[in-house]
Amino acid sequence: MKTKIPYDVQRKILLELLEVSKLSRASLAKNIGVHPNTFPRLLEYKSLLKAKHLISIVQLYNSMGSAVPDYLRPYLPADAMTEAKLKDQCSKIQALMQIGCTIQETAAALGLNITYLQMQLKTIKPMQDAADMGSALLKVSLRRALFDLAIGDKNPIVCMFLAKQYLGMADRVNVTSDGTPLQMNEEEAARIVEQMIPQYKSMRNILSVSTTTVRLDSGNGNGASAGLPVIDQPISEDRLLEQPSVGNLDGGQ
């Protein structure tokens, strides 16, 4: 880069940017990293653009999909970002944001100063869009994983979480008249457990016969009367619960 950019080149590029970008003077000043009050001084030959401002101008042209004017190129710093470099940087930012990296972690992965990266994300629209897209895709991946666990794997915890989020379901908490949750002491908890023990034993007794299948014999010559239960082959507990004849062993209808 030459020592300084001539005033006539500076004025020409700023006026051209105002026309091409359709930005106001204040917005353009913000995009190239100068204070809005300084912008008129740049046009009046009272202040010069610095190297960082020229880099921002190149990045602004890249974000608009336009080529940098040839008359400006001799005055650009060596590290001015080309269109190819910008696309590569945006791709890396999106990939890092997609796996949940913070700005600090993204800057470290790219080998950049965190303050410099923050400035780029604020002033360079393609980088802003890449960061936003990466964050959005991260959320999409997490949602897909949640629904796969709930619907595909039938994970009860995830099902309950999604039911609360999307179906409006909620845990019911018993409260007193003043709205405070009911507190259960050890004696009340023990009483409830004692009441549940008979139900538990009853269920265990029912499931204890799950090693056999009970069927009603049709009475076709095997020595048993038609309609009486006959022991057959072992089955699982799940299959036992599907047998319609189990509920009728006590003679009920």
CATH number of the domain bearing residue 11: 1.10.260.40
C-beta of residue 31 within 8 angstroms of C-beta of residue 22:
no
16-25, 95-104, 182-191, 242-251: least confident range: 242-251
Is there a domain that residue 40 lies in?
yes
Record the pTM.
0.43
Which range has highest mean pLDDT (27-41, 68-82, 237-251)?
27-41
**Between 92 and 73, residue with greater pLDDT:** 92
- Residues 20 and 40 both lie in one domain: yes
Is there a domain that residue 171 lies in?
no
CA Rg value for the chain? 37
Q: How many domains are contained in the chain?
A: 2
How far separated are the first and last CA of the chain, in Å rounded?
A: 97
Give the pairing type, strands 214-216 and 229-231.
antiparallel
Tokens 């590029």 sit at which residue?
13
- Residues 73 and 113 both lie in one domain: no
Find, among 56, 14, 7, the residue nearest to 31 by Cα.
56
Query: What share of the chain has pLDDT > 90, as a percent?
Result: 16
The dihedral through the CA atoms of 227, 229, 234, 238 has a sign that is: positive
**Between 113 and 105, residue with greater pLDDT:** 105
Whether residue 108 is predicted with pLDDT greater than 80 in this model: the reply is yes
Is there a domain that residue 184 lies in?
no
Q: Where are the alpha helices (DSSP H) in 125-168?
A: 125-147, 156-166
Give the residue numbers spanning the domain of 113.
83-117+124-153
The pLDDT, as a whole number, for residue 36 is: 87
- Residues 61 and 113 both lie in one domain: no
- Residues 73 and 108 both lie in one domain: no
- Residues 37 and 96 both lie in one domain: no
Is there a domain that residue 74 lies in?
yes
The pLDDT, as a whole number, for residue 82 is: 67
Q: Is residue 174 very low, low, confident or very high in pLDDT (cuts 50, 70, 90)?
A: low
Is there a domain that residue 165 lies in?
no
- Residues 65 and 7 both lie in one domain: yes
- Distance CA(52)–CA(49), nearest Å, equals 8
- Distance CA(232)–CA(123), nearest Å, equals 78
Whether residue 131 is predicted with pLDDT greater than 90 in this model: the reply is yes
Tokens of 172: 């019911």
- Residues 102 and 147 both lie in one domain: yes
